[in-house]
Structure 1
Amino acid sequence: MSQPFDLSRFPDLPPEVVKAFAAMQSELTVERAARQHEQAVGAEKDVFITELQALIAKLEGQVQDYRRTKFGPKSEKLDPAQLELALEDLEAAIAETQEQITLVEEKIAAANPEQPAPRRPRKARELPDNLPQIERVIEPADITCPCGCGDMVRIGEDRARRLDYIPARYQVIVTVRPKYACPKGRTGVVQAKAPAHLLEASWPTEALLAQIAVAKYSEHMPLHRQAVVMARHGVPIERSTLADWMGRTGALIAPVVDHMAKRLLSDSTRLYVDETTAPVLDPGRGKTKTGYLWAVLRDDRGWKGTAPPGVVFHYRPGRKGEYAAEILAGFNGTIQIDAYGAYTHLATPKREGGDPLRLAFCWAHGRRKLIKAIPKKGSPIVDEALLRIAALYKIEDSIRGSDPEHRRDIRQSLSRPLVDEFFTWLTAQAARVSRKSDLGAAMAYMLRRQEGFRLFLEDGQVDIDSNLVENAIRSPALNRRNALFAGHDEGGANWASYASLIGSCKMNGIDPCAYLTDLFTKLANGHLKKDIDDLMPWAYAQRNTTSE
Structure 2
Amino acid sequence: MLNVHELKAQDLQRLSPSALAEVATTMLEHIAQQSKLITSQAQAIKFRDVKLERITFELARLKSWRFAAKTERMNAEQRQLFEETLVADQASLEAQLEALQGQTGTPGESAGKAPARQPKRQALPEHLRRVDHHHEPENTTCDCGQPMVRIGEDVSEKLDIVPAEFFVHRHVRGKWACKGCQTLVQEPAEPHIIDKGMPAEGLIAHTLVSRFVDHIPYYRQEQINARSGIHTPRSTLAAWSGQGGAGLIPLYDAHRRFVLGANVLHVDETPVNMLDPGAGKTKRAYIWAYARSGFDVLPGVVYDFCVGRGAKYPVAFLQDWSGTLVCDGYAAYDTVFKLEQRIEAGCLAHARRKFDELIKDNQSPVATQAVQRMAKLYGIEREARDLSVEQRLDMRQARAKPLWEEMHAWLQLERQRVPDGSATAKAIDYSLNRWSALMANLVDGDVPIDNNHIENLMRPWAMGRKAWLFAGSELAGQRAAIVMTLVQSAKMHGHDPWAYLKDVLTRLPSHLNSRIDELLPHRWQPKA
Letter aligned with residue 68 of structure 2: R
Cα deviation code 1:263-284 (max 9, x no counterpart) = 221x211011111112111111
Letter aligned with residue 60 of structure 2: E
Q: How does 1:162-181 map to 2 (within 5 A)?
A: 162-181=158-177
Cα deviation code 1:380-427 (max 9, x no counterpart) = 322221111111111111111212221111111111111111122222
Cα deviation code 1:338-381 (max 9, x no counterpart) = 22211112223xx2xxx241111111111112212335346432
Alignment CA distance shift 1:227-1:511 (3 Å): same
**Contact preservation (8 Å) 1:374, 1:439:** no
Could you say what secondary structure the match of 2:332 adopts? Answer: helix
Q: How does 1:511-530 map to 2 (within 5 A)?
A: 511-525=496-510, 527-530=511-514
- The residue aligned with 2:99 is 103
- The residue aligned with 2:214 is 219
Aligned length: 518
**Contact preservation (8 Å) 1:179, 1:190:** yes
Q: How does 1:70-469 map to 2 (within 5 A)?
A: 71-75=70-74, 78=75, 80-109=76-105, 112=106, 123-125=119-121, 126-149=123-146, 151-182=147-178, 184-265=179-260, 267-299=261-293, 302=295, 305-306=296-297, 308-348=298-338, 351=339, 355-374=340-359, 376-377=361-362, 379-469=364-454
Letter aligned with residue 255 of structure 1: P
**Contact preservation (8 Å) 1:292, 1:318:** yes
**Contact preservation (8 Å) 1:456, 1:462:** yes
**Contact preservation (8 Å) 1:522, 1:528:** no
Could you say what secondary structure the match of 1:514 adopts? Answer: helix
Letter aligned with residue 220 of structure 1: H
Q: Once the 2 structures are TM-superposed, how far is the Cα of residue 141 of structure 1 from its aligned partner?
A: 3.0
- The residue aligned with 1:53 is 53
State how far apart, in whole Å, the 2-side matches of 1:459 and 1:11 are: 106
User: Which of 214-223 and 375-384 deviates more?
Assistant: 375-384
Letter aligned with residue 294 of structure 1: W
State how far apart, in whole Å, the 2-side matches of 1:11 and 1:50 are: 48
Letter aligned with residue 446 of structure 1: S
State how far apart, in whole Å, the 1-side matches of 2:11 and 2:215 are: 91
RMSD across aligned positions (CA): 3.2
Which of 481, 490, 493 aligns to 2:478? It is: 493
Letter aligned with residue 495 of structure 1: A
Is 1:65 matched up with 2:61? Answer: no
State how far apart, in whole Å, the 1-side matches of 2:97 and 2:352 are: 40
**Contact preservation (8 Å) 1:278, 1:492:** no
Which of 501, 521, 526 aligns to 1:537? It is: 521
Alignment CA distance shift 1:194-1:38 (3 Å): same
Letter aligned with residue 372 of structure 1: E
Alignment CA distance shift 1:97-1:440 (3 Å): farther
Alignment CA distance shift 1:430-1:50 (3 Å): farther
Could you say what secondary structure the match of 2:254 adopts? Answer: helix
State how far apart, in whole Å, the 2-side matches of 1:212 and 1:461 are: 37
State how far apart, in whole Å, the 2-side matches of 1:245 and 1:531 are: 25
Letter aligned with residue 236 of structure 2: T
Cα deviation code 1:96-121 (max 9, x no counterpart) = 22222222222222xx4898899887
Q: Once the 2 structures are TM-superposed, how far is the Cα of residue 297 of structure 1 from its aligned partner?
A: 0.5
Letter aligned with residue 74 of structure 1: R
State how far apart, in whole Å, the 1-side matches of 2:223 and 2:21 are: 79
Alignment CA distance shift 1:40-1:443 (3 Å): same
Q: Once the 2 structures are TM-superposed, how far is the Cα of residue 289 of structure 1 from its aligned partner?
A: 1.1
Could you say what secondary structure the match of 2:183 adopts? Answer: coil
State how far apart, in whole Å, the 2-side matches of 1:113 and 1:360 are: 63
